[in-house]
Structure 1
């Protein structure tokens, strides 16, 4: 059963009637044009906007290559590290792998949707994915693990469906050809595993699809899938090796996020926040049709192989990361369900094509498409321009923005590089002092400072939750050094977590972060003399263990900061 079955499930669908613009003959051309245009836009955004707090935090991993890392697998670090070696260090070189890979993701989504339904549906699926807020910039442009995950997830999926749903008129494959395709599946599943742990849901989803469809169950006794799993484990072995030598800390950290923090208590407010957050990240007027297709896939899971495959490979990450918010505080990680939504864009594209073929629905669908495209384009242009220039702080009403969890009036400042930090370091001569390092008390600010200094100074996070930073800089090599410790809206932790590690701590003038000549953020700055072990044990801080020559996380993990 292939795309013919999906079309037959809708007898009113006319293959020859659809949009007046997108046809079976020109869908490939328009899809490639769309991919090219969005690629150029993302290159410009990637080059001229600053790194966000997550990107800045990940930055040191790209210049300190390792077999794996504390909170993410290594592939996106490796790819950006290669770009840095080739083209030098810049915002664009860090982000370029994501931009390139998302162009590939768009093309793969087109190919898969075309195989399941038709080429017109493939174009609409790609368009809607590129209009969705979480995909069009965060996944497609930012230096994060999501872009390689999405690309290799779909690349593995493309070869899986060649095996599980061959064309009706195709010649039967030989055993050697089947094993060859399963080998490719294993390679790309391995690369997806090196991208992000979410790939587990693709493994389980494909298994559920095979079990749920009688004609597919022959693969349970075929050697090909098991070969693919073996290849995946071999390619993913750097993650296992690194974790085996670091007390399995990465798995412990990620696993701790899925359980309650202390006493088990249900939190309907967290659950509601997750629903609302997902809808906002996808965009509410896109999220509703997407959820409708999840329901449609569920209804047709036993009658249509394309819908069945979409259902089983989409529902698991969406349900899992939504349900656990009843007891686990996932905070604002609404993008963790994104692989599931990625698969649902496939039937959304087909639904759009059908609506455009229906005179009663075509006009409303076109209006919806125009509104979606206009909203996304205008919003991206507005936010990008403001992030670079800060013009709204000069000319816009202040009530539009409110205080964020960082204690600032304008959240877009989080995506501005704190270049004034390096200027201050150079002015004071701190950059030339080989016995001086930088420090902060929060992992996200540590990343912003580290990126501002372009990694030219060692940096230490004085927190119970330094995350990956604890593995990239060894505080034990900095004993006796001085430090410049920078804080943002947080003086309590200075006396609690920083002062015990130094012989003397002195406040110096704040570092003022400006944007287009306007003061945006004041960073409290302290000059700290002689880094040392504190007189009283601080077993709650990883830096304490490292100063004693021990692993940073010899104690319990807690990712809430």
Structure 2
């Protein structure tokens, strides 16, 4: 690569974005869907104004995509891959406006090297890709209004045609972000705190522009509000409950807290996480000296602190990516810091070159090894097995969860269940339902025999299944099948397991049961949304 300059930085960033876009297209096409992706998949086939645990935009986008590319892994994931390429370009533009073009290039590079961004957000069928894109698009417009050079004098031009168009762009961008994920609340709050803490920007509180943007956002959020109003506000209740205490007696859990911090570091990669946290501190220190640092600080701090502090009393488990919008904003000053260091020509510049080189090699090698193993399972044959099993229970390879369970389809075809209209599917867990549903490409009605069916409670009308039989698939949870599924049938008989095979090796086994004559249980089971639906009540509520 030629020496990076202000004049060629845009071209260099575009090349990086193009290369990573093509690489992610291959990852999207040839790796299996994870648990969350499989669970979400049916939503892309069932258009609705909104959904139980997420706003609708990523469902809508992938619903369109599969009509173009077919019902396959690439079709579901292509919108995420495309949107993240756009996010990367917006990252360059925003960083260029408030710092330099070279800083923008390094911001793009480091974001694309960070583990959680480069695959999970940039490639998987999740709501994060549209959230990040429209968050950055809103940021691009806000920066032109409040942060870029001359923003200290923005009051002089606040009624210009360009200003009104920029506020219109902010409103539309935030509207799409609201349709993506509820994290957009931190975008609103961050902009507000930036305005009120900077005297030169407080005049916007008296300008109609911000209120117009909020109004546009609310109007665009109408599908989410309408759907929730007609479904007991279950989406807001579900997401809000995750920030509450998980037990009746409030107790601080420092183990959850430190697990969250460690998980965030691991998801970003520790050698990228530490510089980002340092930039957060630097942005705090310099927030009163330069608008750019004040802006990036307030846009970053809220999601990072909120979702970390919540873990003191709420078990968010392994959702370490919830802080990602905040970390994304820190790549902006990090890019500027890297550019300054590399331009210094001293020992620090050499260290940064090695740091960047190591990050590039590590990311490429890790993605290559993990991706190849997920598809082929080669490590089971040639690698030290303790690495595969060390962090996973029951001696199972955790990457098998990212493999499509196509053996389920093979078994269904063999038994004649696939084309039998009197047979539907059931499982005792929402996540397993997704894996089974994706294996059969949504061709069979599917039920969750559990108190936590999530979005799947709204995908199929259970009353139309009365009198039919069910194939119940379990992940070694026979006790739950007996307790929660058996009461809905005249009889439940266990059949031979389904073996999940990768490269000729059996790596996982799923239990199979046959439930005969689906009906309303004799005993009340108000704890099960499925029972509530069968007796004419909403799936959730008292």
TM exceeding 0.5: yes
1:255 aligned to 2:240?
A: yes
Instruction: Measure the CA separation in 2 of the matches of 1:375 and 1:73.
Output: 35
Residues 300-379 of structure 1: matches in 2 within 5 Å?
Answer: 300-358=286-344, 359-379=346-366
1:410 aligned to 2:397?
A: yes
> 1:536 Cα shift?
0.7
Residues 145-544 of structure 1: matches in 2 within 5 Å?
Answer: 145-168=127-150, 172=157, 174-261=159-246, 262-358=248-344, 359-402=346-389, 407=394, 409-544=396-531
> 1:88 Cα shift?
1.6
Partner of 1:3: none
- Per-residue CA deviations over 1:15-57 (Å, capped at 9, x if unaligned) read xxxx972111211111000000000000000000000000000
Structure 1 554/284 Cα, relative in aligned 2: closer, same or farther at 3 Å? same
1:97 aligned to 2:79?
A: yes
Provide the secondary structure at the position in 1 that maps to 2:52: coil
> 1:175 Cα shift?
3.5
- Per-residue CA deviations over 1:139-171 (Å, capped at 9, x if unaligned) read 000000000000000001100111113543999
> 1:84 Cα shift?
1.3
Structure 2 unaligned regions, length at least 5: none
Instruction: Measure the CA separation in 1 of the matches of 2:110 and 2:368.
Output: 18
Instruction: Measure the CA separation in 2 of the matches of 1:444 and 1:122.
Output: 39
Structure 1 63/153 Cα, relative in aligned 2: closer, same or farther at 3 Å? same
Instruction: Measure the CA separation in 2 of the matches of 1:374 and 1:522.
Output: 36
| Kept after mapping to 1: 8 A contact 2:138/2:170 | yes
> 1:404 Cα shift?
6.1
Instruction: Measure the CA separation in 1 of the matches of 2:541 and 2:147.
Output: 49
Provide the secondary structure at the position in 2 that maps to 1:520: strand
| Kept after mapping to 2: 8 A contact 1:307/1:347 | yes
> 1:406 Cα shift?
6.9
1:120 aligned to 2:102?
A: yes
| Kept after mapping to 2: 8 A contact 1:315/1:340 | yes
Instruction: Measure the CA separation in 1 of the matches of 2:266 and 2:424.
Output: 40
Provide the secondary structure at the position in 1 that maps to 2:537: coil
Structure 1 513/436 Cα, relative in aligned 2: closer, same or farther at 3 Å? same
> 1:408 Cα shift?
5.2
TM-score by length of 2: 0.97
User: Which moves more between the two structures, 82-91 or 384-393?
Assistant: 82-91
User: Which moves more between the two structures, 213-222 or 546-555?
Assistant: 546-555
- Per-residue CA deviations over 1:357-406 (Å, capped at 9, x if unaligned) read 12131110000000011100000000000000000111212111227667
| Kept after mapping to 1: 8 A contact 2:409/2:439 | yes
User: Which moves more between the two structures, 195-204 or 351-360?
Assistant: 351-360
Structure 1 unaligned regions, length at least 5: 1-18, 556-561
| Kept after mapping to 1: 8 A contact 2:426/2:471 | yes
Residues 72-91 of structure 1: matches in 2 within 5 Å?
Answer: 72-91=54-73
Instruction: Measure the CA separation in 2 of the matches of 1:68 and 1:303.
Output: 43
Instruction: Measure the CA separation in 2 of the matches of 1:469 and 1:405.
Output: 27
Partner of 2:13: 31
Instruction: Measure the CA separation in 2 of the matches of 1:408 and 1:473.
Output: 35
Provide the secondary structure at the position in 1 that maps to 2:48: coil
> 1:526 Cα shift?
0.4
Partner of 1:109: 91
User: Which moves more between the two structures, 163-172 or 45-54?
Assistant: 163-172
TM-score by length of 1: 0.94
| Kept after mapping to 2: 8 A contact 1:121/1:353 | yes
Structure 1 479/443 Cα, relative in aligned 2: closer, same or farther at 3 Å? same
Instruction: Measure the CA separation in 1 of the matches of 2:28 and 2:211.
Output: 40
| Kept after mapping to 2: 8 A contact 1:61/1:472 | yes
Question: How many residue pairs get matched?
Answer: 537
Instruction: Measure the CA separation in 2 of the matches of 1:166 and 1:137.
Output: 31
Provide the secondary structure at the position in 2 that maps to 1:463: coil
Partner of 1:57: 39
1:40 to 5, 22, 31: 22
| Kept after mapping to 2: 8 A contact 1:476/1:549 | no
| Kept after mapping to 2: 8 A contact 1:128/1:345 | yes
Instruction: Report the aligned-residue RMSD.
Output: 1.4
